[in-house]
Amino acid sequence: MTTILLAIGAAVLGGLLYTLVGIIPGTDETATMVPITIILVLAGAPAGVLFAWEIGIIVAMQISHTIPTAMSALPGSTMAVPMVLNCSIAKRLGVPHMAMRKMASGSLVGTIFALPLALVVALILSPLGSMISAHSGVIFTICALLIAYISSAKWGAVVAVVPFAIFIQALQRIAIEGHGSTVFTSIFMGITIGPMIYELFGALIPSRRKQFAKDTPNETWLAPDSKQKIAFFPNPFKQLTRKQVGLCAAWSAVSCVGFTMSPVGMTVLSGEASAGRCKELYDRVSTCLSVEDSTSNATYTAGLIIPLLGLGGVAVGGVAAGPAAPLFACAPRFEIGSNLAQMLTIPDYILFGIIGLVGGALVAYPIAMHKARSWTELMLRAISHEALIGAFCGLVVMLAFYEAGILGVFLALTIGLVGGFLHTVFGVHTGVQFMTYYASGWIVTQLLALASVLV
């Protein structure tokens, strides 16, 4: 009973926290979710509490990021980027509030569909769990190459996988020499804040600092608020048309099958496929947005549950290797093969999954449906984006120092600078880098074996 109460508290608290984070434009899921999740893991939070927390913050952020995206056409998070174009069209049509409600409802509907579907897919795949674990290195490498190819960098990202893997293992060797063991948090968090580190480093270079300088404050135009009266927690299914509900259900199923794919890629794919089924402009915009946000949340939910339950805790896929990674590997408590997957039963996934879904939606959904404009204005006025970045960078430094002292901090900064350069300049995004991190041990081992044969 105590664990259930803690799980409820964690889901509601996480829902509130990440509702606020999602309303701030330009945030990144991995950079904001991972640090606090690592703290909870290292603090010894029970397995059910951790699972409810993760589901809760996924639901909350995927709902709340609709608010700034719809009201100001600024992406509330990385996952909202594919929705900006349709949101800007909805804003010009004078219906941003309707677009936001479609997105928030679609997001919640996607999770409602994805939770049971992901459990079914996981149970179907579970007999293959031991085989997948035995060949995890090959699977990680294939996933890294696949995610790299479907990224904007295409073949450039594919080619970058091998040298980046070598770079990661070189840093691990330095960690062994200086710390006595390999590190996880320092490397992983370095990749997480890589784009931030790269931008901060650029501010130290005079020529780039001039590019960043502005004489006037940024201006953001918010759409007017809606006067329409709706219930405190309106039925999300009634906010969508039958066709939209059907498409959300279909793409939730596709997301469960394609849980290894990039969530952004799945979101873009679902939007483009849904657009072809609509002729009228408003119908196309509202349908695309509801289906895209549904797919976004469903992909995150499936990307967490299926690797845990179906693959025995092997972090396959962009979500497992990114925002949910501390539940799969977080030394000294979790590692691949001995993590949250071994601590939860099927009833636990159902019970704590429902707690997480309800806890996350309980805060984010009513705010999205009733307070979109006022809360967006409050966040834009009162919360400094630079302060948010500074807070999460400070968390990363603290966690890296906790793991390996000052060496851990320098390792995080080093890989952050290189990874941030690859992400910002060449489009080798952090999803590719995370998967390469998991594949790096196998890749380098195979390269050394090949080198010894050729010599």
End-to-end alpha-carbon separation of the chain, Å?
62
Instruction: Tell me what the mean pLDDT of segment 219-232 comes to.
Output: 65
| Distances, alpha carbon 373 to alpha carbons 69, 254, 387, in Å | 11, 33, 22
Residue 66 reports pLDDT greater than 90: no
pLDDT per residue over 147-203, tens digit each? 788 777 889 989 999 999 999 999 999 999 988 888 877 887 788 778 888 888 888
Domain coordinates of the chain in residue numbers?
2-209+229-454
> Residue 159 corresponds to which amino acid?
V
Determine the pLDDT at residue 213.
Answer: 72
Instruction: Tell me what the mean pLDDT of segment 293-314 comes to.
Output: 86
Determine the pLDDT at residue 352.
Answer: 92
CA distance 268 to 291: 10
Higher pLDDT: 173 or 259? It is: 173
Residue 26 reports pLDDT greater than 90: no
pLDDT per residue over 31-57, tens digit each? 788 888 988 998 888 989 999 999 999
Residue 379 reports pLDDT greater than 90: no
Determine the pLDDT at residue 356.
Answer: 92
Determine the pLDDT at residue 385.
Answer: 63
pLDDT per residue over 67-119, tens digit each? 887 777 677 777 777 777 787 787 777 777 777 888 888 888 988 998 899 99
Residue 443 reports pLDDT greater than 80: yes
Residue 386 reports pLDDT greater than 80: no
Question: What is the token pair recorded at 274?
Answer: 């849904």
Instruction: Tell me what the mean pLDDT of segment 207-221 comes to.
Output: 71
Instruction: Tell me what the mean pLDDT of segment 382-409 comes to.
Output: 77
Burial readout 328-339 (b: 16 or more C-beta within 10 A, e: otherwise) = bbbeebbebeeb
Which of the residue ranges 19-28, 53-62, 342-351 would you say has the lowest mean pLDDT?
19-28
| 376 pLDDT tier (thresholds 50, 70, 90) | low
Model-level pTM? 0.76
Higher pLDDT: 334 or 131? It is: 334
CA distance 303 to 388: 27
Determine the pLDDT at residue 341.
Answer: 83
Instruction: Tell me what the mean pLDDT of segment 409-436 comes to.
Output: 86
- For residue 115, the surrounding DSSP H or E stretch is helix 96-125
CA distance 295 to 409: 36
Question: What is the token pair recorded at 125?
Answer: 């795949």
> Residue 130 corresponds to which amino acid?
S
Name the DSSP letter for residue 336: T
Determine the pLDDT at residue 265.
Answer: 67
Residue 223 reports pLDDT greater than 60: no
Residue 218 reports pLDDT greater than 70: no
Determine the pLDDT at residue 224.
Answer: 62
Q: CB of 25 within 8 A of CB of 65?
A: no
Higher pLDDT: 242 or 185? It is: 242
Instruction: Give the length of the chain.
Output: 455
Burial readout 374-392 (b: 16 or more C-beta within 10 A, e: otherwise) = ebbeebbeeeeeeebbeeb
